[in-house]
Each structure stands twice: as C-alpha cells, then as structure tokens.
Structure 1
Amino acid sequence: MEKEPQLCDMIREKAGEMYFRLGFKGVTLDDIAQEMCISKKTIYQHYANKNELIAAVAGTLMQMIFTEIDTIAGSGYNAIEELFEIRKFLRKTIEDKYQLATFQLKKFFPEVSVKLNNSKFDRMQYCITNNLIKGIAEGLFRKDINIDFVSRIYFTGISGTKDTNIFPDELFSMDALHLLFLEYHLRAICTPEGITLLDNYLKENP
C-alpha cells in the first residue's frame, strides 16, 4: 500500500507539536491518534513504531535549524558576527522550547539520539569549517589554526555545555553559558584584528 505523503507529514507535524510540548516520553501513539481523530493503525501505515516517528520529527527539526543557519551564513555577516547571529537564532528558537524533549530523547530513546547526534556532528562540522575558512580569509582568525581540530573541539564544547552535572543550572543559565563558550572559542582563534572586532561587538551588544 502506497503511503499518502500529506497524511504522513500531518502525523509527523502533530507528533512534533505534542512531543515538544509534553515530552517524548509521555506522548503515546494512541495520544497522537486520538488528537488527530485517526486510528493507531493508520499511524503504523506510515511509521513502523514510535522510534521511527520520533526520528522523523527530530530529523525534520534538525533540517529546519541547519537550513536557517545556512541562510544566516549567506547573509553577508563577517565570521564573528555570523556566530553571534546563529547564537541569537538558536536562543530565540529552540533552547528553552525543546529542552525537555532533548533530555528525554537522550535518556529514553538512546538509539535515536545517537543517530541524530552523528548527523548533527556532520552538519555542525560543515558549518563551523566554513565559518573558520571565512574568518581566515577575512583576517579575523589566525591562519595557523588546525581547522579540523577546531571544528571538532567546537562541537565537543557545545555538546559539553549541555551536561548539567558539569554545568549545573544554579551556576550557569544556558544563555550565559553559550555566550561564555562562544567568547572562549573566539578568543582562542582570533587575530588581533579579530579580537578588536570581538571586543567592540561585545561592548555594543551587552
């Protein structure tokens, strides 16, 4: 039986709405079916199980995020401004809204989480590599940095800031933590010209 693309998308969108509002753990396929006034059997015609549906929902969100990041990267910002604009987008769009769902994905659906994290690493390394190349060409980042190393360290650092055992909420808000990490990253790779631009940016955008 051929799947109906429209219904398949509608199921994914409704599931995403419910997952990100209530968490991945608490929402069952029965809940989604009831909300859509369809049978659970209909969901199974499009998604083999809950894990497959969760992977589709999370994958769609990730694609949306990186499409917007690509748009920001092509908007004419210099390499330093670009990273801050991406941070603004992520802070405004996803950090608080999807925090519960992200935590539950890692805890209760580890196989899905690992696959998505691998995909996230590939996309983020691509974005950061391009940012580093741009910054070097603009004279804002040092020419002697190891791009492959820095791009991997950046991913590791961003991922590490989400570990509340190391960075407890009572010591660091997520927004402040990401700003601290971004400044740490930039001061490690900037040329004197880049440091001046960074300092001016931070003064103008407290």
Structure 2
Amino acid sequence: MVRGKVELKKIENATNRQASFTKRRNGLLKKAYELSVLCEAEVAVIIFSPKGKLYEFSSSSDMRKTIQRYRSCAKEVQCQRELEGDIENLKHEVAIMAKNLEHLEVSQRKLLGQGMGLSSYEELEEMGTQLERSLEKIRARKAQLFKEMMEQLRAREKILLQENARLRQQAMHLAASTQQRSGVIKSTDKSQNNSEVETELFIGLKFGAIGS
C-alpha cells in the first residue's frame, strides 16, 4: 500500500506536533549516525526543540572541531563565490568596454570619411552635426589661445617699454654727469693758465723795477 503524500505545514495539535517532533528527530539522528558509519563521513547535527531544548549528534569526539571545520569551509566557499562574482562582473565590464571601443572605432572611421558606403542619410546628418560642433569648439579654443598670446605680448611690451625708459633716464643722467665733469675740468685748466700768466707778469715787472 502506497502512503499518501503528506502536506508540509505546521501541525496544529500540540500533542501530535510533539510526537512528530520526537519521531522525526530520532529518525534524523539515526540517519546521521548511519551515514557516518557507512560512508565514514564526518557528520554533525544540531536540533533545538520548539521549547529550546538542545539535541545534537557528532560523529567526532568534539562537536566544536566539526563546527570550526564548517566555518572554515563556509568562509572559503563564500570567498570563492565572491571571487566568481567579481570575475563575472569583470567579464561583463570587459564585454561592454569592447563593444564601446568597437563603436568608437566605427565612428572614428566614419568621421575620417572611411566606411561610409552603408551609412544612411540620418547617420551622415548626425556626423555632419558632430563635425560642426567639433569645429566650433576648435575655433573657440583657438580664439582663446590667440587672446592669451596677445595679452602675454602686451604685458611683455609694457615691460620692455618700462625697461627702455629706465635705460634712457640712466643714459641722460650719465651724459649730464659727464658734461658737468668736463666743464669743471675746463674751468680748472683756465684758472691754472691765468695764474701762470699773472705770475710771469708779476716776476717780469718786479725784475724791471729793480734794474731801474
């Protein structure tokens, strides 16, 4: 006689629920024991009853060793899953980047006038608009650079004019100083010549007076 399929839901009757728990608990612990003996597997089972009572089975002598082993394996599995997830994400990103790169290469060839035989009128119109926008940006950048160069040249010109004025002022002062020194030297020479003439005249007159 085939048993009917039992619907898995909470047993409402408390007595029947406790009896089912006891029966199935013992059966689960028995199966765990048989699995450890027949297959030489390390098995650990932990069960808490609805009232919080602990039931456990461990094929090893220390349940804590089995739990520690489980934690280590679970951590490795988690790391492996995370690594596999990262690899999948990287593969997805690489595929997207390759697709974008291919699209950029096609667009670049079209902008250079290559491979345009299969381009539609709308695509050509869009490329023309892109080129016009690019030309506007180039012209704007060129005008900006030209303006900056003119400002630099004006600043340089101002510095050179100031330097020229300073050198001219220094030259004027130097010429005035030279001319002044030349005048002093000429006056000194003239004074010395007059003194010599007066001395000669004085000596000559004095000797003449003595002779008379």
For the aligned pair, the TM-score class normalised by the smaller chain equals: under 0.3
- Using CA pairs below 8 Å that are at least 6 residues apart, which structure has the higher relative contact order? 1
What's the TM-score once normalised by structure 1's chain length? Answer: 0.24
TM-score norm. by structure 2 comes to 0.23
Larger Rg: 2
